[in-house]
């Protein structure tokens, strides 16, 4: 077993992943950089430290942890961490959102991209799928975990709360959900669109174990997910309400909902890359 990566090592990877994200979205002139950048630290922590996973990908996920991305529009960050974990060739990141690519705008299984087990993008569905996969693991006597990441705007979907109620009632305690709580959605701040109110109290009322974290602090991401894991197996599903900043790492994108789903131009790309160290070599 190799030594787990240190916080500085993870931060160096995150810088490269952020470069990958802005370069992919710039190259396609299409995609969602804001949420991708905000979730970079979390996704790096998951794929380089937390998940027990096998880059020699098996779709049925038996004998390993399984991760689902419910807010599928942040596919760039997922594709980058998968490629950087050698699920597929780094060069393939060049094909993002282009014709004949496995790297669809929103994640899909049809083209057989390693790492993806279900399509996502139409919001609100990933939590139900994750709960189903967690039930499957229990039936199989497989002690590995199921993880799912959701958006905060996505919490407005009714299906989320159907799944939340079901998971608690059925004591699905091998499931750790995380909310990317950046407070922004396409049309503006979440609180101005349709406020989530006290999200912690809502999940607690549904009988989930709730923790909170700072999603752009690698230390806190690791410690909160470690805590989440220690709370698993006790009869309740676990959720990590993870505060992030949309566009994190690129100054002109930070905190701005306008960067939910638009690509940078050439000048903006140059500015963004000047702020992000090329630590592992660009693809």
- Which residues bind to another protein, rule: CB under 8 A? 59-62, 66, 108-110, 117-122, 124-137, 139-140, 142, 158-159, 162-163, 165-166, 169-170
Nearer to another protein by Cβ, of 58 and 234: the residue is: 58
Nearer to another protein by Cβ, of 120 and 268: the residue is: 120
Annotate 45-84 with b (16+ C-beta within 10 A) or e (fewer). Answer: bbbbbbbebeeebeeebeebbbbbbbbbbbbbbbbbbbbb
Minimum CB–partner distance for residue 168 and another protein (Å): 12
Minimum CB–partner distance for residue 66 and another protein (Å): 7
Minimum CB–partner distance for residue 18 and another protein (Å): 28
Nearer to another protein by Cβ, of 40 and 174: the residue is: 174
Minimum CB–partner distance for residue 237 and another protein (Å): 13
Nearer to another protein by Cβ, of 222 and 238: the residue is: 238
Residues 6+ apart with CB under 8 A from 106: 72, 73, 75, 119, 120, 121
Minimum CB–partner distance for residue 110 and another protein (Å): 7
Minimum CB–partner distance for residue 119 and another protein (Å): 5
Cα 202 to Cα 206: distance, rounded to the nearest angstrom: 6
Minimum CB–partner distance for residue 151 and another protein (Å): 16
Minimum CB–partner distance for residue 260 and another protein (Å): 20
Nearer to another protein by Cβ, of 158 and 281: the residue is: 158
Nearer to another protein by Cβ, of 58 and 98: the residue is: 58
Residues 6+ apart with CB under 8 A from 141: none
Nearer to another protein by Cβ, of 27 and 159: the residue is: 159
Cα 165 to Cα 136: distance, rounded to the nearest angstrom: 18
Nearer to another protein by Cβ, of 64 and 214: the residue is: 64
Strand order of the β-sheet with 66-69 is 66-69, 146-151, 175-181, 238-243, 209-214
């Amino acid at each position: 077993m190799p030594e787990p990566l240190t916080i500085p090592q993870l931060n160096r990877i995150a810088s490269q992943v952020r470069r990958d994200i802005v370069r992919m979205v710039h190259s396609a002139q299409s995609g969602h950089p804001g949420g991708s950048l905000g979730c970079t630290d979390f996704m790096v922590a998951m794929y380089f430290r937390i998940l027990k996973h096998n880059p020699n990908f098996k779709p049925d996920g038996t004998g390993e942890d399984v991760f689902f991305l419910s807010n599928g529009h942040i596919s760039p960050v997922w594709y980058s961490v998968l490629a950087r974990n050698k699920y597929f060739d780094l060069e393939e990141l060049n094909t993002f959102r282009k014709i004949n690519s496995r790297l669809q705008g929103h994640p899909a299984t049809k083209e057989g991209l390693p790492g993806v087990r279900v399509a996502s993008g139409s919001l609100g569905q990933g939590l139900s799928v994750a709960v189903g996969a967690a039930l499957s693991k229990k039936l199989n006597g497989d002690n590995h975990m199921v993880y799912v990441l959701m958006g905060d705007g996505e919490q407005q979907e009714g299906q989320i709360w159907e799944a939340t109620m079901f998971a608690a009632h059925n004591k699905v305690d091998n499931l750790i959900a995380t909310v990317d709580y950046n407070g922004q959605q396409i049309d503006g701040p979440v609180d101005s669109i349709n406020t989530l109110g006290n999200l912690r109290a809502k999940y607690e009322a549904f009988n989930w174990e709730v923790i909170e974290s700072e999603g752009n602090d690698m230390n806190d991401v690791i410690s909160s997910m470690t805590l989440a894991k220690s709370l698993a197996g006790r009869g309740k599903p676990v959720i990590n309400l993870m505060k992030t900043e949309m566009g994190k790492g690129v100054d002109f994108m930070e905190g701005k909902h306008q960067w939910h789903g638009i690509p940078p131009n050439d000048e903006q790309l140059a500015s963004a890359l000047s702020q992000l160290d090329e630590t592992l070599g660009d693809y």
